[in-house]
Structure 1
Amino acid sequence: MYDYSIIMPAKNEAKSLDELIPKIINIASDINAEIIVVDDGSTDHTAEICHKYGINYIKNPYTKGNGASIKVGANEANGKYLIFMDADGQHDPDNIKLMLEVMKQGIDMVVGSRYKNSHANISRGFANKLYNILASWMVGHKISDLTSGFRVVNEYKFKQFINLLPNGFSYPTTITMAFYRAGYSVNYVPMSFHKRKGNSHINPFQDGIRFLLIIFKIGTLYSPLKIFFPLSIIHILLGFFYYIYTYFSFGTFTNMSALLVSNGLLIFLIGLVSEQITALIYSNK
């Protein structure tokens, strides 16, 4: 029985893995951990590298996505705690023990938080900052790095939400908000991330749209009313002030005013129903 399972989703990361795995093996022997690499449809020598070092290698029959590979690895894991890290060389294995020390303080999930200069580019750094601010407002706690894939979690508590996780790149957002919503403890350890080896698998156009949807997912996963209620108030106020404007300007009541007010009420009701559904989801955990 292992204490920890180190899980790395990989797609065409043979060059990085050849340097990374020996370092992880040394750490794994010290903390009684198994190493699992989930190959998400690689066309390079990822399989040969993993077999060379004799680690647990799982091959997806086709490309499923980063989140799907995380779920495959978690279901295969035998450790009491799961350590997730990227296979592209961004995450320094030496930081694992630092995260585990924080985990021993009774924390349910420890996240490796990137320093400001560790982001791949300015636009991604700005987007992550925006996500952190919004998520922090939603949960009432400071979130240092919402999208970091370097984290240690309690295996039992992680698997409570495994069916909520998307198959794409936004799984860190989903699991973070789920832990906060369930009342589990989350902590952040600041650290530097290395520049990734090879090309990023994130498509700036397709995944850019998906990352925008993360903002809405944050609200629906934690407290939908915090998103829907302000939107409903904005519509109702716009309708009210537009009514005043048209009444004093033209002496009439317009359909647009009624439409804005009714839309505001509809948005509020949708948020109220979503809040109840969210509560039911987490009451079963």
Structure 2
Amino acid sequence: MKIKQHVSIIIPAWNEEMYIAETLKAVYKSADEESKDYSCELIVVDDGSTDETYSRAVPWADLIVRHPYRCGKGAAMNTGRIASRGSVLVFLDADLGATANQFHNLIAPIRAKQADMVIARLPAAKKRGGLGFVRMLAKHGVYRLSGFEATAPLSGQRAIQREVMERIGRVSGGFGVEVGLTIDAVKLGYKVQELMIPFAHRETGRDMQGWLHRGKQLCAVGETLWRRWTEPIC
């Protein structure tokens, strides 16, 4: 009898009470409909939330791991990896809402052995965001340090073979985690692929909160690039 491949869907969340239930519901229903020849577990890592994120995730998640205080996205992703059992790990943002049902498209190239890491490219934003500095820094940094031409270097929606994560063995903190994973995976010789998938999440505008968010991203990405330059994985 053929053994089903096991997929772990890991969702880091910090104060996402407005979106988490809809996101998890979409993943849960899609997994039930699409996973005919693979099995899924749904893991939420509550990264020190102070709102109702945990209680709203309870009806849908197979496992919820709670950090006692906010540790950052990279730490939350690593906690999810340690707690998971799957040979394929799917990382999704908590605010995808109903579009989280598209997660199975991330898995297809890995299951077909066409890629070891699949990164989602999202449709264009509906409202004006930042000036593109963070994305440009990430894009050029990834290319300079690995040779990979990324069009979605900051995308948090990605599927990764478990062995890739474990061989990399390190994750950057905060918003630099995706950039670091891409660089390390490419340098280790793994196949990385980008794929257009119609995910949609909360967009940050040009208000104070949006600029603060981008400032934190810029610092985190810059730090990650510096570390990958001074401490290359190989």
Shorter-normalised TM-score: what interval? 0.7 to 0.9
- Whether the 8 Å CA contact 1:112–1:190 is kept in 2: the answer is yes
**4+ residue segments displaced more than 6 Å:** 197-202
Q: Report how far residue 5 of structure 1 moved.
A: 0.4
Letter in 1 for 2:135: N
Q: Distance in 2 between matches of 1:69 and 1:200?
A: 22
Q: What is the aligned partner in structure 2 of residue 226 from structure 1?
A: none
Q: CA contact under 8 A between 1:146 and 1:172: conserved in structure 2?
A: yes
| CA distance in structure 1 between the partners assigned to 2:212 and 2:86 by the alignment | 30
Give 2:187's match in structure 1, choosing from 178, 181, 184. 181
Higher RCO structure, 1 or 2 (CA under 8 Å, sep 6+): 2
Tell me the number of residue pairs that the alignment of Structure 1 and Structure 2 aligns. Answer: 222
In the aligned structure 1, how far is the partner of 2:149 from the partner of 2:68?
Answer: 39
Report 1:217-232 matches (<5 A). Answer: 217-220=227-230
Secondary structure of the 2:65 match is strand
In the TM superposition, what are the counterparts of 1:1-285 in structure 2 within 5 Å? Answer: 3-29=6-32, 30-31=34-35, 32-89=39-96, 92-106=99-113, 107-117=115-125, 121-123=129-131, 125-162=132-169, 164-196=170-202, 203-220=213-230, 278=232, 281-282=233-234
User: Which residue identity is paired with 1:150?
Assistant: Q
Q: Which amino acid aligns with 1:12?
A: N
- Name the CA distance, whole Å, in 1 between partners of 2:60 and 2:211: 25
After superposition, the C-alpha distances for 1:59-97 in whole angstroms (9 at most, x for unaligned) are 101111111000000000011100001002278323222
Deviation at 1:120, TM superposition (A): 6.9
Question: Taking structure 1 as reference, are residues 4 and 202 closer, same or farther at Cα in structure 2, changes over 3 Å only?
Answer: farther
Q: 1:205 to 1:135 in 2, by over 3 A?
A: closer
**Structure 1 residues 208 and 158: alpha-carbon distance in aligned structure 2, compared to 1, 3 A threshold:** same
SS of match in other structure, 2:59: helix
Deviation of the 1:190 alpha carbon? 1.9
TM-score, normalisation: structure 2: 0.83
SS at structure 2 position matched to 1:97: helix
Please give the alpha-carbon distance, in whole angstroms, between the structure 2 residues aligned to 1:189 and 1:91. 19
Contact 2:45 2:64 in 1 (8 A): yes
Kindly state the Cα deviation for residue 19 of structure 1 after the two structures are TM-superposed.
Answer: 1.2
Give me the whole-angstrom Cα distance separating, in 1, the residues matched to 2:97 and 2:13.
13
CA distance in 2 between partners of 1:138 and 1:167 (Å): 19
- Structure number with the higher helix fraction is 1
- Mind listing any 5+ residue stretches in structure 2 that lack a counterpart? none
**Larger fraction in strand:** 2
Looking at structure 2, the residues matched to 93 and 4 of structure 1 have their Cα atoms a distance apart, in angstroms, of 15
Q: Pick closer, same or farther for the CA change 1:65–1:27 going to 2, 3 Å.
A: same
Return the alpha-carbon distance in structure 2 between the equivalents of residues 201 and 70 of structure 1.
24
- Across the aligned residues of Structure 1 and Structure 2, the Cα RMSD in angstroms comes to 2.7
Q: What CA deviation, in whole Å up to 9, does each residue of 1:194-215 have, x standing for no partner?
A: 2418977964444433333344
Conserved? CA contact 1:91–1:150, under 8 Å: no
